[in-house]
């Protein structure tokens, strides 16, 4: 799957689904050897999930007023 299509899927996920997918991807990645053919795509997917979670977290902090 192309990275752009995957990024669209990730941005369309609810927060709970995104956290669950991140957890599942991290577990799956931990079971792969770094030299395996699936390691790089799994690592990239985990990076997309992490980036989306960070963006949502930062957007939430920016939207809330400072005390």
Tens digit of each residue's pLDDT (9 = 90 or more) over 22-61: 999 999 999 999 999 999 999 999 999 999 999 999 988 6
* Cα separations in angstroms, 1 against 23, 60, 65: 20, 29, 39
User: 43-64 burial, b if ≥16 CB within 10 A, otherwise e?
Assistant: eebbebbeebbeeeeeeeeeee
Decide if 29 contacts 48 (C-beta within 8 A). Answer: no
Identify the H or E element spanning 8: helix 3-11
Q: What pTM was computed for the model?
A: 0.79
Q: What is the pLDDT of residue 1?
A: 53
Measured distance CA(15)–CA(29) in Å, rounded:
21
């Amino acid at each position: 799957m192309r990275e752009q299509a995957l990024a669209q899927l990730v941005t369309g996920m609810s927060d709970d689904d995104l956290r669950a997918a991140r957890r599942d991807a991290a577990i799956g990645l931990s079971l792969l050897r770094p030299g395996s053919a699936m390691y790089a795509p799994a690592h990239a997917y985990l990076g997309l999930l992490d980036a989306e979670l960070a963006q949502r977290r930062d957007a939430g902090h920016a939207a809330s007023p400072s005390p």
